[in-house]
Structure formats: C-alpha cells, structure tokens
C-alpha cells in the first residue's frame, strides 16, 4: 500500500475512534458499555480498512517493482536498476487488474530464446533487479499481486537462453 | 540359481526390499515449483538437472525458502507466531518413461523392456514458512505399483555471523543419508542420476547407498564463510509398511546410526572445487534367520568416504563438471557369521566412482563415467562364483533438453567385470533410453 493512502486510512481510523469515544462519553454510559461500543466500532473500521486494502491490492498489478529478489551468492551485479513507475492506477474494480495481468501475460509470451536485451526491454520494460548467476546475466521482474519472473542472458552472446514466467496462475 | 548364497538371500534380499521401498533413490530431480517460487529459470540452480550450481546449493542450504511469490501473510508481534505462506502451493510432477536393452536376455524375462512409467512423482517442494522449506517426493513406479514416499528433505535454515563471516546453519529431517547433501558427488544426487530398473546390476554396494526410503534421520548442518560445510545426522529405521520393526524385519538399525559430512569449497583454477568426507556407522539386525530382526547379535558397517567435485566454465556458456568418490566399508559380521552365513567375521568393500560431464549450454550434455568395486573374498556372503564382489565398468550418457524441463537421455553401461568375474561380464551391458518430464 502506498504511504499516502496508508496515512489517510490511519487518519480516518483515528478520527472515527476519537469521535466515537467523545460520543460515548457524552452519552454518559457506564465505562464497560463505552468500552464495548468502542470495540465494535474498531472492529467495523478494521474490516473497512481490510476491504480497502484488498481492493487496492487487486488493482495494483503494474510494471515491475524492485521487490525482494533472491540474492545471488555467486556474483551479484552492482548494476541493479531502478523500477519503472507503476503504469496502472490503483482501482477498486477487478477489471483493470485483469487487463493489466493479461497485458503482462502477452508480453511474457513473446519472450523467446535468442532475443536481445533491447528486445526484452521493449516487451517487459526495465527489470527491477539485474544480477549474475552462474555466469548468466539475469533480469528479474517482480509484479505486486502476481509474483516474480526472470530472463537469463548468455554471458557470451547476450541473447536470451532461459526464462521463467511470473506465476500468472489461473488468470 | 548361481547367486543364491547368503549375500543374495539375506543382505541381498534386504537390499532389494530397501531398493524397492526407496524406489531407486539414486533417481533425483529438479523441481519446477522451485522455479515458480523464485521466479528464476531452472538454469539458475542447475547446470542440467539435477546437478546443482553454486546458486542451487545456496538455495538448498537456505532451506528452499527464497521466494518471489505473492504471500499470504499475517504478522505477529515477534518473528514467530504469524503466518507467511506462498499463495501458490509448491506442487510439481515428474514422469519418466524408459526402454532397456541388455546384451544378453536375462533368463526368464523379455528383453527390450519398456517401463511406463519408469517413475511418476508428485512433489511438494518449496517454502513452508519463513526459514523452513521442503523437498517431498511421492513416487509411483511400474515395479511397485503404488505411491510411496521417495526422497524427502524438510529443512529449517537461518544465518548468523561467526568470526565476522556469514554462516548458514540449519536442521534437516530426511529419509535418505546424503539426500541432505548439496554436491553431486555423494550417492543420493550422484551420477548416473537415473538408470535401468530391469537390468542386472552388481550385487555388492556400500550400505549407505541402499538405506534411502527405509530410514528417518534428523540432523544439523552449517556452512561457514561460503567455504566450510559440516553436518551430522542420526538415522533410525523407519520401514515402509511397518509401524514398528518386528522379528520379521530385515536390516533394522540397532539404536541410531550417525552420519557425518565435512566439506571445503573454494575457487580454484578458474572453477569451483569441493573436497570432502562423509560416512556412516550402522549397527544392523540383519534378520532373515541371522537374528530375530529386532534383537540378538548385530552386524556393524562403517562407511568412510572421500569425495571431490570440480566445476569449470570452459566457454562463456559451457561447463565441465567432474565428480569423484571413494568409499571404504568395514563390515563386522558377528550376526551373519554366527548364523554361518559368511565365511569371515569381517570384510571390506571399496567403491570408486569418477565421472566428467561436458555441458553445452543448458540444452545438451555428455558424460563419461567409471566405477570400480573391490572387496574381500567371501563366497558365502557375496554369493558370487569366486566369492569376490568385484565389478567395474564404464557408463556413457548423452542428454538433450529441448526445453529446460524435458530431458531425453541415452545411456550405455559396459561391464569389464561383473560380480567377481570378467567372463561374460559383457552379457550385462545395458542400453537405456529415457524421457524425463518435469512440470
């Protein structure tokens, strides 16, 4: 979740808690009853926050992000690149997310042996991480809400020799 | 029958039982669920499966836990107590189909045998929780006609600093001595990785090679500064199909059998060199008339091995790998001798293996292998015509992988000596064809 949205949600939660507490106090209810009322309000707000988080999560499939990629012990390249900004805006509807996944899936379908780095970059964008494993240069892509995939290039020809699609699952 | 002496009937029968239960534990795999979990192609962890690269060894020592998958997560206040699991279950499948031709038809059987499947397996292989992962294989084979637990290794792994150097430490729960190992020079993951189940094979082999699937072991390991590996496990019999060993049981371990492993890995001559030692000390109730199966006198086998592995990049995309192992087995046969089932109270058995593989990229490889077994003369125990367990020969294998998860293999085994004699050893020469799918 983005920091701004998280802050807003937390602000709403605190405001509601505060107003609820003030309201209960004004009604002069016994303390136990006030606590119980507050507990229910907190639960309702937690459920609302969870719902918003889920909606944001499903709508956030986007360009690769620099997620936690496995660290290569052999020779990790210092040339790790930064991620592209997300190309799909967060949405509360599932449809845009599916469309984004569909586009990603099509892009990955086009990866094939012998492709150049430029061809891969054209299809998949800039990788979230670049590192070297067993002599091969590996471009690592992580997609929030989907998972990670990678493309391995020959050390000699700089052409694609192997790749692993992200786990698109049943989408 | 010419080979129906005690070794064939007692130890041999036990070994056959173990082998059938273990479903040929030499057979080993790469698992696509690991690729799905990490988001990395097979070639990151394997030169050609199941040979591990340095990254593959690291992945295994870290408990199969590296993941790039979306997680289902609930955090608790501390590090423990919450839940963090991969959204996609780490399931994979494997199918091997094979054809076998022996130079001379084995009496009473049909030659040019086809096995469909040679093995069919399901895997649950991937992260279980932070720091913990599994390699669990369930296998159905044509000769067993049922699913059984095959190679299994469940791990916990973590890191610490010792002497200012990164140190991996972990625990393993497994069912095959050496399945926990990360180099391809020890039995569970050693060449030839897959072989004919229906062809004749030499009778004598070190005990440590035949316990897979019939034992349960727990142990700890550590890998210090990417150089020094040390591990110890304790094994106890866990016979498949039996809740507890009883007087009818064969090859039951008395107490626990310790397994040890010590190895050093480092860059050398432009490649990566590993040298090490491993072994196991096992007290057994042989069963089958030499003891009651769970009580009485025991035999003691002490297996002490040396091993070596060298990986050398010979071209930007090509790799040469060399594996070698030497195993010395000391057999104290008190139980067997007391039952007049061996001529000696103690024997020795020595096995030597050497293989070299040229990997052309990740889609083809060619391997030359040599094996040699020698040992004490014991007519009653080994049941060979001259009492010698000696066998030696060569294995040639070529692999082609049209895709990273599909391997087509042709393998030829030529015997110079078979069960103590060179006479007609070539009758056992075997041509083995196999297709191997992982998905």
Q: How many CB atoms lie within 10 A of CB B336?
A: 30
Q: How far apart are CA B188 and CA B176, in angstroms?
A: 7
**Residue B300 to residue B125: CA distance in whole angstroms:** 35
* CB-defined contacts A:B, below 8 A: 101
Task: Give mean pLDDT, residues B9-28.
Answer: 37
State residue A5's pLDDT score: 53
Per-residue buried b or exposed e for A114-150, using 16+ beta carbons within 10 Å of the residue's own CB: ebebeebeeebbebbbbbbbbbbbbbbbbbbbbbbbb
User: For residues B332 and B325, what is the distance between their CA atoms, to the nearest angstrom?
Assistant: 23
Q: What's the average model confidence in pLDDT over B411-423?
A: 97
The beta-carbon neighbor of A148 closest among B39, B226, B317 is: B39
- Does residue A141 sit at the B interface (CB-CB below 8 Å)? yes
A-chain CB neighbours of B69 within 8 Å are 147-148, 167
CA B93 from chain centre, in angstroms, equals 19
List the single residue in B68, B226, B361 with the smallest CB-CB distance to A69.
Answer: B68
Give the best residue of A131, A144, A148 to mutate against chain B (max B CB count within 10 A). A148
Centroid of chain to Cα B389: 21
Task: Give the mean pLDDT of B282-311.
Answer: 91
Considering chain B, what is the average pLDDT of its residues?
89
Yes or no, beta carbons of A73 and B58 under 8 Å apart: yes
Question: Between chains, do A74 and B54 touch, taking CB under 8 Å as contact?
Answer: yes
CA distance A152 to B40: 8
Query: Where is B59: in which H helix or E strand?
Result: helix B54-61
Scored b (16 or more CB within 10 A) or e, B115-151 reads bebbbbbbbbbbbbebbbbbbbbebbbbeeeeebbbb
Q: Which two tokens stand for residue A16?
A: 């509601």
Predicted local distance difference test score (pLDDT) of residue B166: 94
Euclidean distance between CA atoms B416 and B109, whole angstroms:
23
Q: Which candidate, B307, B411, B311, B308, places its Cα nearest to that of B358?
A: B311
Interface mutation vs chain A, best among B30, B33, B35, B55, most A CBs within 10 Å: B55
| Mutation to test the A interface, candidates B30, B59, B67, B68, most A Cβ within 10 Å | B68
Q: How confident is the model at residue B348 (pLDDT cuts 50, 70, 90)?
A: very high
Q: Report angle CA B366, B370, B372 to the nearest 5 degrees.
A: 165
Nearest to A134 among B53, B69, B70 (CB): B53
For the segment B127-140, the average pLDDT, to the nearest whole number, is 94
Using the predicted structure, report yes or no on whether residue B52 has a pLDDT greater than 60. yes
Average pLDDT of adjacent 10-residue blocks, chain A of 171 residues: 51 46 45 72 69 50 45 36 34 69 90 94 94 88 88 89 81 49
What confidence score (pLDDT) does residue B20 get? Answer: 37
User: Contact B5/B387 with Cβ under 8 angstroms?
Assistant: no
Instruction: Give the closest of A67, A134, A144 to B44, CB-based.
Output: A134
The pLDDT of B325-336, averaged and rounded, is 97
* Inter-chain CB proximity B53 and A74 less than 8 Å: yes
Question: B109: exposed, middle or buried (C-beta count within 10 Å: 0-12, 13-18, 19+)?
Answer: exposed
Nearest to B36 among A133, A135, A167 (CB): A167
Residue B36 C-alpha, separation from nearest chain A C-alpha, in angstroms: 6
ipTM over 0.90: no
Return the minimum-mean-pLDDT range out of A23-37, B59-73, B78-92, B161-175.
A23-37
Tokens of B46: 């394997």
A155 interface with B at CB cutoff 8 Å:
yes
d(CA A35, CA A21) in angstroms, rounded, equals 9
Lowest mean per-residue pLDDT among A57-66, B10-19, B123-132:
B10-19
Instruction: Please write the tens of the pLDDT for every residue from B183-218.
Output: 999 999 999 989 998 899 999 999 999 999 999 999
What is the helix (H) or strand (E) element at residue A38, kind and residue range? helix A31-58
The pLDDT of B339-350, averaged and rounded, is 95
Q: Is B43 within 8 Å of A136 when comparing Cβ atoms?
A: yes
Q: Which of residues 45-74 of A touch B (CB under 8 A)?
A: 67-74
What are the strands of the beta sheet with A160-164, ordered from one edge? A129-133, A136-143, A147-153, A160-164
Q: What is the pLDDT of residue B364?
A: 94
Which of B41, B265, B361 best tests the A interface by mutation, with the highest count of A CBs <10 A? B41
Contacts of B36 in chain A (CB under 8 A): 147, 164, 167
pLDDT at site B22: 36
Q: Distance, in angstroms, between B239 CA and closest chain A CA?
A: 38
Pairwise CB contact (< 8 Å): B68 & A67: yes
Question: Cα B289 from chain centroid?
Answer: 29
First to last CA, chain A: 22
Decide if A147 and B47 are in contact by the 8 Å CB cutoff. no
Percent of chain B with pLDDT over 90: 73
What tokens were used for B51? 């040979």
pLDDT of residue A119: 96
pLDDT digits (tens, 9 = 90+) for A91-109: 456 777 777 888 898 999 9
Query: Residue B293's closest CA among B344, B361, B343, B245?
Result: B245
Asked if B44 and A138 touch (Cβ cutoff 8 Å), the reply is yes
Alpha carbons B5 and B384: distance in angstroms, whole number: 8
Phi-psi group of B195: left, alpha or beta (phi > 0 → left; psi -120 to 50 → alpha; rest → beta): beta
Q: How many helices (H) and strands (E) does chain A have?
A: 4, 4
Contacts of B61 in chain A (CB under 8 A): none
Q: Are the beta carbons of B40 and A133 separated by less than 8 Å?
A: yes
Least confident of A76-90, A115-129, B254-268, B334-348: A76-90
Q: Does the pLDDT of residue B51 top 80, yes or no?
A: yes
Kindly report the number of other CB atoms within 10 A of residue A35's CB atom.
12
Of A72, A166, A167, the CB nearest to B55: A72
Q: 3-state class of A50 per DSSP? A: helix
Whole-angstrom distance, CA of residue B178 vs CA of residue B57: 14
């Amino acid at each position: 979740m983005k920091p701004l949205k998280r802050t807003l949600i937390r602000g709403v939660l605190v405001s509601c808690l505060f107003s609820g507490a003030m309201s209960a106090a004004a009604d002069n209810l016994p303390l136990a009853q006030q606590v119980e009322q507050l507990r229910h309000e907190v639960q309702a707000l937690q459920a609302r926050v969870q719902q918003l988080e889920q909606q944001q999560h499903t709508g956030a499939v986007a360009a690769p992000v620099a997620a936690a990629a496995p660290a290569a012990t052999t020779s990790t390249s210092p040339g790790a690149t930064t991620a592209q900004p997300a190309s799909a805006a967060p949405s509360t509807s599932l449809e845009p997310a599916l469309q984004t996944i569909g586009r990603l899936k099509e892009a990955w379908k086009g990866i094939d042996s012998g492709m150049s780095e430029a061809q891969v970059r054209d299809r998949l964008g800039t990788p979230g991480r670049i590192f070297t494993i067993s002599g091969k240069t590996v471009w690592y892509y992580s997609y929030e809400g989907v998972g990670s995939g990678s493309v391995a290039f020959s050390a000699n020809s700089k052409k694609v020799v192997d790749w692993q699609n992200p786990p698109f699952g049943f989408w | 029958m010419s080979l129906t002496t005690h070794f064939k009937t007692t130890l041999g029968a036990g070994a056959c039982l173990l082998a059938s239960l273990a479903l040929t534990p030499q057979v080993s795999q790469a698992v696509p669920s690991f690729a799905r979990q990490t988001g990395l192609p097979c070639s990151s962890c394997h030169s050609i499966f199941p040979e591990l690269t340095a990254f593959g060894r690291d992945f295994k020592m870290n408990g199969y836990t590296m993941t790039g998958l979306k997680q289902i997560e609930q955090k608790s206040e501390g590090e423990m107590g919450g839940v963090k699991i991969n959204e996609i279950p780490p399931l994979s499948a494997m199918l091997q189909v094979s054809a076998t031709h022996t130079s001379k038809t084995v009496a009473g059987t049909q030659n040019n045998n086809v096995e469909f499947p040679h093995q069919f397996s399901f895997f649950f292989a991937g992260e279980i929780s932070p720091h913990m992962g599994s390699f669990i294989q369930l296998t159905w084979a044509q000769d067993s006609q049922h699913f059984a637990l095959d190679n299994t290794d469940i791990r916990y792994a973590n890191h610490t600093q010792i002497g200012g150097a990164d140190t991996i430490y972990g625990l393993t729960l497994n069912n095959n001595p050496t399945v926990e190992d990360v180099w391809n020079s020890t039995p569970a993951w050693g060449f030839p990785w897959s072989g004919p189940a229906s062809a004749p094979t030499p009778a004598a082999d070190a005990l440590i090679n035949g316990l897979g699937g019939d034992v349960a072991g727990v142990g700890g390991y550590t890998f210090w500064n990417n150089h020094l590996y040390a591990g110890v496990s304790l094994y106890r019999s866990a016979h498949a199909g039996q809740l507890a060993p009883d007087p009818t049981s064969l090859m039951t371990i008395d107490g626990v059998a310790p397994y040890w492993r010590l190895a050093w890995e480092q860059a050398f001559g432009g490649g990566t060199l590993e040298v090490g030692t491993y072994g196991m000390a096992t007290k057994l109730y042989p069963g089958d008339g030499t003891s009651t199966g769970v009580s009485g006198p025991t035999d003691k086998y002490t297996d002490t091995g040396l091993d070596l592995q060298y990986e050398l990049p010979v071209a930007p995309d090509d790799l040469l790998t060399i594996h070698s192992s030497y195993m010395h087995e000391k057999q104290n046969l008190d139980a067997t001798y007391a039952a007049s089932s061996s001529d000696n109270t103690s024997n020795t058995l020595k096995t030597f293996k050497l293989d070299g593989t040229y990997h052309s990229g990740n889609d083809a490889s060619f391997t030359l292998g040599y094996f040699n077994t020698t040992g004490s003369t014991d007519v009653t125990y080994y049941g060979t015509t001259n009492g010698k367990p000696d066998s030696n020969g060569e294995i040639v294998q070529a692999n082609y992988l049209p895709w990273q998860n599909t391997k087509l293999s042709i393998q030829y085994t030529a015997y110079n000596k078979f069960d103590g004699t060179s006479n007609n050893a070539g009758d056992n020469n075997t041509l083995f064809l196999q297709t191997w799918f992982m998905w």
